């Protein structure tokens, strides 16, 4: 089974900060990596698919990078509505998929 | 606009069977373009993929749950269902249904989720 490890598990940041979250896979998953944002009481929302493709309607301050085993999600300038928990998900052997443990982005 | 809606009992007794249904509107589940899946999230914890089905009848399950999970479909009602047997308190979670892209495997449309508590 493919294991997904996110870091950090939580972070504190201020509005306007640049934030980067890392997701590591236990084996190469090429670019089959997706990112989601989840706010309290809500379903996850797809942000990035295929490691770096921005889902329609998602602000351009979100970007994804990486391939193989190491991936990043970057928020270029953190906005108040971005405080949430972020999850990565591998989909190398679709439709099977494993999620990372999540990264909670909190207000400093 | 694609919409998914979970429904089912919010409370299930230990050792019994959990059954949920996902109603889909705005598109047909009988499509070759997408999978349809279930994901769960224990309160305050992360996401876990449970299983997925394809319109051909093929089903795929998380190995850790495979012995207890069944996903079925009712195309006449445009809905699919989840059955989880022999539940314990560890199965208490918010259950989501979602549409899954065939090629890239991402979940792009989600239901709002339904909390199922396992307790006597």
CA of A46: which chain B residue's CA is closest? B108
Mean pLDDT within A77-89: 97
pLDDT at B98: 98
pLDDT at A83: 94
CA of B108: which chain A residue's CA is closest? A46
pLDDT at B34: 96
Closest partner CB to A95 (pick from B46, B52, B96): B52
User: Residue A104's pLDDT band (boundaries 50, 70, 90)?
Assistant: very high
Q: Which residues of A touch B47 (CB under 8 A)?
A: 36, 44, 87, 89, 99, 102
pLDDT at B59: 96
pLDDT at A44: 98
Beta carbons of B116 and B16 less than 8 angstroms apart: no
- Look up tokens 């089974």; give the residue: A1
pLDDT under 50: residue ranges of chain B = none
Mean pLDDT within A43-49: 98
Whether residue A35 lies within 8 A of chain B, CB to CB, comes out as no
Most A-contacting residue of B47, B58, B69, B114 (CB-CB within 10 A), to test interface: B47
User: Residue A84's pLDDT band (boundaries 50, 70, 90)?
Assistant: very high
Mean pLDDT within A15-31: 98
Mean pLDDT within A94-102: 94
Residue B76, strand partner residues: none
Residue-wise pLDDT tens digits, A54-70: 999 999 999 999 999 99
Q: Which residues of A touch B58 (CB under 8 A)?
A: none
CA of A103: which chain B residue's CA is closest? B46
Tell whether the torsion through CA atoms of A92, A95, A100 and A102 is positive or negative.
positive
Cα separation, B60 vs B77, in Å, equals 22
Residue-wise pLDDT tens digits, B43-60: 999 999 999 999 999 999
- Look up tokens 């990264």; give the residue: A103
Tell whether the torsion through CA atoms of B23, B73, B81 and B96 is positive or negative.
negative
């Amino acid at each position: 089974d493919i294991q997904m490890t996110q870091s950090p598990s939580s972070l504190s940041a201020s509005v306007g900060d640049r934030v980067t979250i890392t997701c590591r896979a236990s084996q190469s998953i090429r670019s089959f990596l997706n990112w989601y944002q989840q706010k309290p009481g809500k379903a996850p929302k797809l942000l990035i698919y295929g490691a770096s493709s921005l889902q329609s309607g998602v602000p351009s301050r979100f970007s994804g990078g990486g391939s193989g085993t190491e991936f990043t999600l970057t928020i270029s300038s953190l906005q108040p509505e971005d405080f949430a928990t972020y999850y990565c998900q591998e989909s190398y052997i679709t439709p099977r998929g494993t999620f990372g443990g999540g990264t909670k982005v909190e207000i400093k | 606009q694609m919409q998914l809606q979970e429904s089912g009992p919010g409370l299930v007794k230990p050792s019994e069977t959990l059954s949920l249904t996902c109603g889909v509107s705005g598109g047909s589940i009988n499509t070759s373009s997408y999978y349809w899946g279930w994901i769960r999230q224990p309160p305050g914890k992360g996401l876990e993929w449970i299983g997925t089905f394809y319109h051909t009848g093929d089903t795929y399950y998380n190995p850790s749950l495979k012995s207890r999970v069944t996903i079925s479909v009712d195309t006449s009602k445009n809905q699919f269902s989840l059955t989880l047997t022999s539940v314990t308190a560890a199965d208490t979670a918010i259950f989501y249904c979602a549409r899954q892209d065939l090629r890239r495997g991402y979940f792009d449309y989600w239901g709002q989720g339904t909390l199922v508590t396992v307790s006597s």
